[in-house]
Chain A
Amino acid sequence: NAGVMQNPRHLVRRRGQEARLRCSPMKGHSHVYWYRQLPEEGLKFMVYLQKENIIDESGMPKERFSAEFPKEGPSILRIQQVVRGDSAAYFCASSPGQGIQGQFFGPGTRLTVL
């Protein structure tokens, strides 16, 4: 049973470009969460999605950031017009239902903005 998969593992973008991060949840999981970890910082919640619905995006910046979890395919976190401050590790987690006990994390995508 494959775990949470994220790709790419490493992504380099120049300022002003777009970054698209993908997350495939564990089989049977319909809840997806995105977190951001800045260098030398803790983990911060960004957004919580269920299939085709955004449940809570209170941790996501209002501009340039968007997330989706379509009926088919992986969840996508999109960052438009990236800036150097967007450089961070972005982790996706999934769970079969709501709540922390069942949140399983992927290996993360490390975004570097030049």
Chain B
Amino acid sequence: DAKTTQPPSMDCAEGRAANLPCNHSTISGNEYVYWYRQIHSQGPQYIIHGLKNNETNEMASLIITEDRKSSTLILPHATLRDTAVYYCGEIGSGGSNYKLTFGKGTLLTVNP
């Protein structure tokens, strides 16, 4: 079962930053935080992942708190095409570093 909690839905205005929170209350020291998104009727798409430090790539930024109990995915300039369900999760760095497990995610709706 999922170990993360996310708000079920959020709205964001087009062009503004979207900040999606995730609580990782049971995360352990060697588990990575990762984010995927799923646009309606498509397969999940990898966005970003991190362990302790904040990360940035061409899609988004990831902020992880110092205690690692929460993370925030930031889409700096949301577009209508960013409307999707966003999933956060955790995965170990050891032998099972392939099992993706998501909760119900956050439905982000970007409004014009």
Chain A residues within 8 Å of B, Cβ to Cβ: 4, 31, 33, 35, 40-45, 48, 56, 59, 91, 93, 95, 98-101, 103-108
Interchain CB contact under 8 A, B102 and A42: yes
Tell which of A31, A95, A99 has the most Cβ of chain B within 10 Å.
Answer: A99
Interchain CB contact under 8 A, A101 and B49: yes
Question: What's the Cα separation between A99 and B34 when bound, in Å?
Answer: 12
Give the contacting residue for A91; candidates B43, B46, B96, B101; CB below 8 A.
B43
Q: Would you mind naming 9 contact pairs between A and B with Cβ atoms under 8 Å apart?
A: A35-B100, A42-B2, A45-B101, A98-B98, A99-B98, A100-B49, A100-B100, A104-B46, A108-B43
Q: Which residues of A have CB within 8 Å of B87?
A: 42-43
Interchain CB contact under 8 A, B43 and A105: yes
Where chain B touches its partner, the secondary structure class is loop
Q: Which residues of B have CB within 8 Å of A35?
A: 100
Q: Which residues of A have CB within 8 Å of B42?
A: 107-108
Contacts A91-B43, A107-B42 given; does A43 touch B101 at CB 8 Å: yes
Interchain CB contact under 8 A, B96 and A56: yes
B9 at the interface (CB under 8 A from A): no
Interchain CB contact under 8 A, B102 and A4: no
Question: What's the Cα separation between A98 and B105 when bound, in Å?
Answer: 25
Question: What's the Cα separation between A99 and B96 when bound, in Å?
Answer: 8
Give the contacting residue for B98; candidates A4, A40, A44, A48; CB below 8 A.
A48
Contacts A40-B104, A41-B104 given; does A105 touch B98 at CB 8 Å: no
